[in-house]
Amino acid sequence: MIIDAHGHVTAPDSLYVWKSGLLSHRGSHGVRPPSVSDDQLREAWHAPNPSFGHVSHMDHLDEAGIDIQLISPRPYQMMHSEQPARIVTAFTEAVNDVIHQSVQLFPDRLRGIAGLPQTPDTDVAAWTKELRRTVTELGFVGALLNPDPYEGTRTPPALGDRYWYPLYEALCELDVPAVIHSAGCKPPTREPYSLHFIQEETVAVWSLLSSSVLTDFPDLKIVVSHGGGAIPYQVGRFQPDVVRSGGVPYIDRLRRLWFDTCLYTQDAIELLIRTVGVDRCLFGTEKPGTGSQINPATGGWFDDIHTLVDGIEWLSDGDRQALYEKNAVSLFRI
């Protein structure tokens, strides 16, 4: 079985038309979401999509041999920094409901990862209400954690800060992983949102490993998207300081986290696995998404991560089974 730990929801256009209205009137005309029928949602999952190379979401999964995909909100859509707070909350709840409805329609193919209403205008404890709803009532198996709810407009507290502790407490209580994945990136930042993802994931790993979070919350489960940002590839930069201080070796700290393989070159995936170990890696593609374009050098999709993993000759059969299935089954209790 192949379990893809990094996927995002596909939804009818009506959901995003409603979102544009929310942004236009800022909730003054109400925040009630549109009703999405099962037929509309089923069509969205099966319809060819110009953004995904004119192939449907389900066809992408079928072509890649993906049996189950964990789906979360499309991060750049989450608008965490917008005001007032109630439009952020309303949109988050609506997207989570569409994810749940999708899982109900395709119970053998999908599992839900919740979005959180991470508006900076409310405290972190307020975000946990939606976490509890999605896990206890809707059966979700994890939640996205955006390290930058300000979306590049201000500097947020790093993930090692006690600011985040109410969320960590709730995640441990519910025994579900947080999946670190940044969201939007608004001007006048210097970088596009794709680079913002990598930068925020890098800072997130550094902050967690430089703090007491993983000591204070020994049961906290953290998955870092996109191969952990830059940290696994720059790990040598951090090892000497730990030796000087006599602390826990940096690689041992790094192995307290999990990392997905949403990287688009075989060399990068190999380096990730060699650095953190196959037991801390989860197969992830973000398919369909940014990588859903044909690679002219190979004729395949850039996000055909399975072909890259299959090309790693030194992985044993047991390693592949752990990467494709067992690690995700254990971590997300699928």
What is this structure's pTM?
Answer: 0.96
pLDDT at residue 192, as a whole number: 87
pLDDT over threshold 80, residue 282: yes
Structure tokens at 173: 């209580």
For 146-181, the pLDDT digits (tens) are 999 999 999 999 999 999 999 999 999 999 999 999
| Sequence-ordered list of residues with C-beta below 8 angstroms from that of 120, at least 6 positions apart, any chain | 80, 81, 149, 150, 154, 156
Of the pLDDT bands very low, low, confident and very high (cuts 50, 70, 90), residue 296 is very high
Q: Residue 19: which of 37, 31, 7, 36 has the closest Cα?
A: 31
Angle between helix axes 38-46 and 85-105 (nearest 10 degrees) is: 80
**Concatenated DSSP letters for 202-236?**
HHHHHHHHTSSHHHH-TT--EEESGGGTTGGGSGG
pLDDT over threshold 80, residue 246: no
Label residue 44 exposed, middle or buried (CB < 10 Å: 0-12, 13-18, 19+): buried
Tally of residues, the chain? 334
Q: Residue 77: which of 179, 9, 129 has the closest Cα?
A: 9
Q: Residue 184: which of 23, 3, 293, 18 has the closest Cα?
A: 23
What Cα–Cα distance (Å) separates residue 245 from each residue in 218, 238, 240, 251?
22, 11, 9, 15
| Sequence-ordered list of residues with C-beta below 8 angstroms from that of 195, at least 6 positions apart, any chain | none
- Sheet bearing 142-145, strands edge to edge: 3-8, 68-72, 110-114, 142-145, 178-180, 222-224, 258-260, 281-282
Maximum Cα interatomic distance, the chain, rounded to a whole number of Å: 61
Q: Which domains does the chain have, with CATH numbers?
A: 3-332 (3.20.20.140)
Q: Which residues are marked as active site? A: 286
pLDDT over threshold 90, residue 241: no
pLDDT at residue 242, as a whole number: 82
Give the count of alpha carbons within 13 A of 179, CB side only. Answer: 34
Instruction: Pinpoint the alpha helices (H) of the chain.
Output: 13-25, 38-46, 57-64, 85-105, 124-132, 165-174, 193-209, 213-216, 239-245, 250-254, 266-276, 305-310, 317-321, 327-332
The amino acid sitting at 323 is: L
> How far apart are alpha carbons 261 and 257 in whole angstroms?
13
For 88-133, the pLDDT digits (tens) are 999 999 999 999 999 999 999 999 999 999 999 999 999 999 999 9
Hey, CA dihedral for 95, 99, 100, 104, is it positive or negative?
A: positive
The amino acid sitting at 331 is: L
Q: What is the mean pLDDT of residues 296-311?
A: 96
For 305-330, the pLDDT digits (tens) are 999 999 999 999 999 999 999 999 99
What Cα–Cα distance (Å) separates residue 102 from each residue in 12, 35, 288?
11, 14, 16
Q: Residue 282: which of 238, 239, 221 has the closest Cα?
A: 221
pLDDT at residue 194, as a whole number: 87
